[in-house]
Each structure stands twice: as C-alpha cells, then as structure tokens.
Chain A
Amino acid sequence: MDFVSKRHLFFLLSLAVLLPGVVFLIYAPGLKPGIDFTGGSTISLEFADPIEQSDLRFGLADLGQADATVQRLSGASFFIRTRELDEVSKQALVDGLKSTLSPNGVQVLSFDLISPVVARETVYYAVWMVLAAAVLIFFFIWWAFRNLPSPFRYGAAAIIALIHDTGIVIGIFAILGVVMDMEVNNMFLFALLTIIGYSVNDTIVVFDRIRENVLMYPNRTLATNVNVSISESLGRSMNTSLTLLITVMALFLFGGSTIRPFLLVLIIGIVAGTYSSIAIASQIVVAWEYRDIPRLYRRLRPARSLGAE
C-alpha cells in the first residue's frame, strides 16, 4: 500500500477533524473548566427518597445556590457543583436538602473543594508540564535518531503529531462541553498527559522502523523507506491499539463512573495517536524532505499575484 503519496489527503483529513474543535474552542464557550481549574466545590449526594433533578434545582435555589449545576449520576445520586463551600455552608446545604427533599436521609458520597489559588496553580503547572514534556521528548527523539540524516526533523514531527493528538482530544471535549456540558478537570489533564506519552510511544515505534530501513537501505528514497516502514509496522500498530482499546473500553463500560471522562480521553487519544504516527508524524518527515510547504507556498503565490492584478 502506498501511504506516502496520500500524505496531503491525510493532512486534509486531520485538518477537517481538527477544525470543528478549534471553532468550538475559540467561538463557543469551548472547554468547560471544572473546579480543578476555576476553584469551587463539588458534592455528590445520594438521597434516600426518590427525587427529580428539577426538585434538586429548586431546592438548591431555595438554599441560595441558584447558580449550582446539577447532574444525575444514577437513580437518586446527584453531582452538584457550587461555589466554594466551607464546612459550615456545606453542612447547611446538606441539612437543608435533607429537610426539604429527602427526610429519610442524604448521604454525602464525595466532596471536593478547590480554592482559586490552587486552581490557578493547576493551570499554571499544567501548561508547564505539557511544555516540559514536549521539549524533553523532542530532544530525546532528536538524540535517539542521531544516526539518521536530519534527526531534528524526527523530533519535530513527533511533537507535531503530539500536538495533533492533543488538539483532537481538546477539540472533541470542547464540542462535548457545548453539547453535553462536559467539564474538564485534573483527570482530563493527566489523561492528556497519558495520551502525550502514548502518542510519542507509538510514533517512535514507526520511526524505529524508518531508522532501521534508512540505515539498511540508504540508497532507497526516503519516501520508499517510510512507506515500507509503515507497511511493515502496520500490523503491530493496529494490534497494539486494539489491545489497548480493549482494556480501556472494558474499564469504560464496567468501571466506575468517576474515571469515565478520563477513559474517553484515552479512547479518542489512542485512535488519534495510532493514526497520527502513520499519517502525520511519518508523513511530515517525508513532506519536510520534499519541501512540500515551500512548494505549496510557491504554487499559492502566483495565484495571489494573479488575483491582485
């Protein structure tokens, strides 16, 4: 199969997937930051009496928490996000809901409080974590592929693939944030970091093949070597993502609801990561070699000068 010649198609496909996400990220409210990034409190309650989501909303409004958001977890369990609650106001909220809605009892399943200070730091460190990981991995790949001509390109290509994968995940979550009110939290953050790890991991396996073939057949063109490498490692790429997806899907379907968003990121990320190793990272190395971007630029420039005349 010829992958290399279809590289522009791959690039367009990725752009098509990335674009809606970017639009949602910029023009819609986009990613809905959870309390980990804004500060506030969340509380999961299980009511002994059957109640409806609307009852709970009214109940919360009566208690002065009109801006609280409510999500049903299951049956009579609800997840409530509020402003930062101290111990006294938390107790007041629970007692208030108990007396108005569920005289037979309310069980606090979990309670979280994040102060705005911590939230700001989380954002700060998150950015640094991602940047630091990207930079270090870039240098590592540069070094690991030092025997090849232009090893720098492999590092850069791996990082672009990584940005591509995280971009797809973030984009999809921006859409989910608008469509399903899905929030991103710390779990999302380190799911993203896992994906960064996986994306690079997968890219390196394909690059390793390229490294082997380039060193073994230095007379072949890079396009041929890359194409052969992709074909040869295709079985492995597919099977690895398949097995990983099996485990993650099992967790997603049978595991607790708490880590479901985390697993959703992994599922999207694994698919994107596998795709990008073949269709983005390797193709960028080829495109770089064949100066695709200058060519594209040259092709566009006369067109523009024509338009100006």
Chain B
Amino acid sequence: MRRHVRALIMIAVMLAAALLVLGVQQISLGDFERGGTDTILGLSLGLDLQGGSHLVYQAALTDPVTGEPIPVSSDQMQALKKIIERRVNSSGLGEPIIQLLGEDRILIQLPGVGDPGRAKEFIGETARLEFKHRMFNVPRDLTEITGAEIVSVTAGFLPHETEDESPEPAVAPEGSGEAVLEGAEAAEGTETAAAPELSEAEGESTAVAAAPQMQPDGPPLLIVEFTDDGAGKFAEVLDRLNESLGMLTSSGGLIPPSHLDVSIDGAESLRFQVNALSMQRIAESTRFAISLPPDNVFSTAPNAAAAQTLLGDSPEIFFVEIQGKVDEDIGLTGDDLSNAYAGQHSASGAPIVNLEFNSEGTRTFGELTEVIVAKTQRTGERDQIAIFLDDEELIAPVVETVITAGSAFIQGRDFTVQRVSDLALLLESGRLPVPIELIQERTVDAILGADSLSKSAVAGIIGVALVLLFMILYYRASGIVASLALLIYGMLLLAIFKILPVTLTLSGVAAAILSIGMAVDANILIFERMKEELRAGRTLLSAVNIGFNRAWPAIRDSNVSTLITCAILYYFSSRLGTTAVQGFAFTLAVGVLLSMFSAITLSRTFLRVLAATKLGRRLGLFVPIGGADLPQLKQSPRAPALERS
C-alpha cells in the first residue's frame, strides 16, 4: 500500500504540474519562455489554426553567361536569410519564422498577416548593393526663386513669450577614425540627444503659424511674399528641408539637416542660416515667415516699422540651399565587388570586414577614395562611402587613405564578431544576389483558422466524451479508471505540447486524437487480459499484475511500429519542408510515448489501489458486461482475496 501511496502522490504532482503549466497563460522563467497571451491555454498554434502565410522560396541562381542554373552555397543561403529577415523586420509584419530548408530553400512563416501580397512583394525582391559618395553640406543655388519670383520682403514680429532659441540644430557629422575605412556608426546617445531638441522646436513653429503677424516686442521675422510660381518652388525647398530633419533622427544625429542660407541686401545687410523649423508658410497664402536668428541688426528695432526701415524699401533676398548630405551615384555596385568577408585586423585583432573589388571596381573605388581624401586635405570635410542594400543604408564609413589596390577593410569602434559577419554576409548577398522563386504558399485567413480550431476542439471533446462513456458502460469500474487515466493523459499531453513546445496544427490535432485512440487501446488491451485472468479465478490484484505483464509486449511492439512510421514521416517531411506532415509525425510520436507511459503508470496504479480497497473484492465491477460469470463469484462472493505470492 505504501508503494501505491507513493505512486499516487507522484501522479498528483504530475497532474498539478500539468495544470499549472496550462493554467498560467504565459510562462517565463529567465530564458525559458512559453505560451502567449492570445491563444487557448497559451498553446502555440500553427498557421492553419491562427491564420497566416506559409511561404517556401527556392533560390534560382543562374550563371550570368550561360543562363544555366548553378548551385548556391550555404553562405549565400545564410545571406539570403539575413536579407529577408531585414526586409521582413523593417516592414513590421509581426514575428515571422524564417528558416532554411535543405540546400536551396527558405521557409517563411508569417503569422496573421492580413495582406500576404505586400509581404511577398518585398520578400521576393532581388538584392541590390550600391556604393555612393556621401558629401555633407553641399550648396545648391536657388536662382530660380530670386528676383522676379519675389513680390515683397517685409519685417514682422513674433509674440514675445515664444522666445526664439536658435532652433538650428548644429549637429555635425562625427566621423573620426584611424583606419582605412571607418564605420561612422550611430552612437546611441546622440539620437536621444537630438530628438528632444526637435520636439521643442516644433512647438515653436506652431506658434509662428498661429500668430505670424505684427506684434511688438517679439523676436523679429521676415515675411517674404512670392509669386504663385515662386511660392510653389519655395514650398518644395521647404519640404526637402523638412525631410532632412527626419534623417537627423534616423541617422542618430550623424547626418546634418539641410538648411537655407539666406542673404538680405537692403538698407542693412544680413546673412544667416535657418532650417525648416524656422520657416513657415502663412496659411494658404504665397507668403512665408522666416524667423531671424537672435542678436542681429534687425533685433535692435523696437517695432515692425523700425525694422522695415532697416530693411529698406526694396530689399533683395537670395537663398542657397545647403543640403545636409548628398549621396552621389558613382556607378559602383555589387557587380564590382569580387569578395566580402569578415576578418580580423592584422595588428589590433579587431573584427573587420574585408572588401575586394574586381578590376573595374578597383578603378572606380580608387578614384572615389582619391577624390575624398583630396577633399579632406583641402577643406577638412570628411566625406563617406555610403553602402546601400535595397536602398537601405548598411553602413557609411569615412575614408582614411587613397585605396588603389582594390582591397579595403571597414572597421568600427563598436564592431563585434557577430556584426562584422552579418555585415559581410549582407555585402556578399548584394555582390551575388540570389533571385528567389516562390514555390509553395499556403495562406489561411484568420477567421477560417479560428473556425477550424473551434470545430476541431468541439469535435475532439465530443469524441473523447463518447469514448469515455463507452469505456465506462462496457468496462464499468475499470472503465472509470481508464477514463480518469485518459483525462490525466490529456492534461499531460497538452502540458507537454506547451512546454516543448509543439505547434498545434490541424493535422497535429488529428494526430493528438489518434494518440488518444492509442492510449485507449492500451487500456483495452490491459482490461481484456485482466478479464481473462479474473475468469481464470485470480484475485483482482494478481489479475491486474498479470494482465499488465501479458498486455505489455503487445502495447510495446505496436507502439514501436507507430514510432517507426513517425520517424520516417518526420525525416522525409523535414527534407521536403512540409511542416504539416512534420507536425503530425512529431505530435503523434509524443502522444504515443506518453500513452505508453500512462498505460503503465496511471491505469495500473489506480487499479492496484482499487484492488486494495473493499471495492476490489467486488470483482463483477471489473469485468465487461456479460462477463460476470466468474468462478470466484460462484464459489463465494465474499471470499478473502488471496494475495499473490
């Protein structure tokens, strides 16, 4: 009996653990995270049950000369995966699962995507690598909006309380480095420093819009009225300037915003620089308000009229747009690169990315570095080589020396081994872009998925309930034991699904139900054997023990054969990339293993415990309907149970 108590406690602990696992929606113990907030019991659901897209792409690399298909290397596949991850992540399409299948395929699972068309559009794009000459603060004459396009220039004042605080964010590129090509990386601190400055300034510009007109005692501003044509052109300039402000934030403050160089030539002359935040179109008019920097000649004027006097009758105004950065196309692309790989700096051991160009690329790249270095020596400006993949900037290193040998390396202060290898992979994928072809898609609408899930769940519950009913009606007390064991089995199975985790798909649900069938079968095998032993005149306890021993080889061998089938299914489907079959096989295997365990522990323990109670002497309860003609009952229904020797 002590042994039974121990076994019962063990079962209770397992059940409690299973219920705990299922009861807590989201489990997170350090790195171990399971479950989610939005699914039944926190189980992970496959795309066919929660909706989403399952996409399989095949690399279709062809020889550029012959057009023959050529095999892809595993590095290329890794690079492809990286590229797709980048694209999918930057598009905010939820949390995709991207994995390589076999040698030349890639599987992308996008859960719950409403519009798979958009996702497919950018996943299927072929990678494009470009090197561009990045220059900062490049002036651009705006001769088209001077003279004839300007109707009038007048002085104005802002309300006093919104004091001008020089909104011009003076953030210069921070390029510095000791190496050949240095990664001008976004320092994280700079971004946070730049952002508040922007939001403060924005509030100010609203004030300009609210009360742009003459109010004494405020900081002065200029009101420039254009012709219709001129106003349109100036608005375009303003748009460009505004856009560049966004870049300031996205580049982490490394790219200076474009600004406008304004010269006024009137009774007094003034030259100053303003950015987009200090300019505002007045309502829908052709007039623009331009804030003046503090402490200029006009700020001494006590009122608008005085300022106007300083401006003179017909002041002339000139604009020069200073572009924050210009990425000049120099015709250097991935085609000119012959190799890109991660390595270590020979002297310092720091992780670097090596670049090697072909002859054409060597020439173009050499010329570019010559131009850049010459400019640095002349003006102190440190131009960069901006490297773009799919129009998105990968990195923009500065140039340290003229490089004419065709091989260069990029290093950066914050470079890690991981980062350089990622970078090398991305460069490599742009060098030899691997076109991909969609070869398989399965998209299921979330509503259909939810419908399948609820229907399967209802059907499963009905099915299991009917089976339990049958077991209880047919096997009576044993059936109740089996039902209890099966319910616990179900809980354990779900808990295991959640912990491993097993992604439940429609086919997985079918497999789970099949494995419940297998678990029932194990119980039936045992009960039928028990029935025979009881008929042979044994006590319940010995019938249980012998019944189990006799039934065990059949349970073991039949389940092993099922496991063999599962293993084969799993092996082949993993090569084929059919996750549905794989999920089915895996779920079935887990279910079968657990059913063997539950047959030997749960049912057997419960029956043994029952055998030790008074109920255990009422043998009629333990045999199926119509099987009550037991010899023991005929002799003496209350005969003391003989313990097995």
Contacts and interface: CB of A to CB of B under 8 A. Distances in A.
Given A117-B58, A125-B575, A128-B572, A259 B470 contact: no
Contacts of A204: 554, 557-558, 561
A109 B513 contact: no
Interface string A196-220: 1110111011001101100000000
Given A112-B442, A254-B455, A201 B624 contact: no
A110 B444 contact: yes
B528 A236 contact: yes
Interface stretch (A18-26, A163-171, A237-245, A289-297): A237-245
21 contacts: A108-B443, A108-B445, A111-B442, A114-B440, A115-B438, A115-B439, A118-B56, A125-B576, A129-B572, A137-B565, A140-B564, A190-B584, A193-B569, A194-B510, A205-B558, A236-B525, A242-B470, A243-B521, A246-B470, A255-B458, A256-B506
Interface string B107-148: 000000000110011000000000000000000000000000
B566 interface: yes
Given A110-B443, A196-B565, 13 more contacts: A87-B117, A108-B445, A109-B447, A114-B440, A204-B557, A205-B554, A232-B532, A235-B528, A246-B467, A247-B517, A255-B459, A255-B460, A258-B48
A190 to B, nearest CB: 5
A91 B116 CA distance: 11
Contacts, number: 210
Interface string B565-580: 1101100110110101
A206 B531 CA distance: 17
B463 A111 contact: no
A280 to B, nearest CB: 16
A121 B574 CA distance: 13
A91 B117 contact: yes
Interface of A: 44, 86-87, 90-91, 107-115, 117-118, 121-122, 125, 128-129, 132-133, 136-137, 140-141, 144, 186-187, 189-190, 193-194, 196-198, 200-202, 204-205, 208-209, 211-212, 232-233, 235-236, 239-240, 242-244, 246-251, 253-256, 258-259, 262-263, 266
Nearest to A251: B459
Given A113-B440, A208-B554, A251-B459, A201 B513 contact: no
B558 A190 contact: no
Chain A residues touching B, majority SS: helix
Contacts of A239: 474, 524, 528
Contacts of A202: 558
Contact of A250 (B121, B442, B459, B565): B459
B564 A133 contact: yes
B440 A253 contact: no
B516 interface: yes
A244 B521 contact: yes
B171 interface: no
Contacts of B447: 107, 109
Given A113-B441, A259-B506, A259-B510, A140 B560 contact: yes
A211 B556 CA distance: 14
B254 interface: no
Given A254-B455, A258-B506, A240 B466 contact: no
Contact of B445 (A109, A114, A128, A244): A109
A98 to B, nearest CB: 15
The 3 closest A-B pairs by CB, nearest first: A250-B463, A247-B463, A208-B554
Interface in B583-605: 584-585, 588
A111 B441 contact: yes
A144 B557 contact: yes
The interface centre, meaning the residue of A107, A205, A263 with most chain B CB atoms within 10 A of its CB, is A205
A159 B116 CA distance: 45
A135 to B, nearest CB: 10
Contacts of B309: none
Given A108-B445, A144-B557, A204-B554, A121 B576 contact: yes
Contacts of B411: none
A246 B467 CA distance: 7
A187 B448 CA distance: 18
Nearest to B506: A259
A250 B525 CA distance: 23
B559 interface: yes
B571 to A, nearest CB: 8
B464 interface: yes
Contacts of A240: 517, 520-521, 524-525
A248 B517 CA distance: 9
A196 B455 CA distance: 27
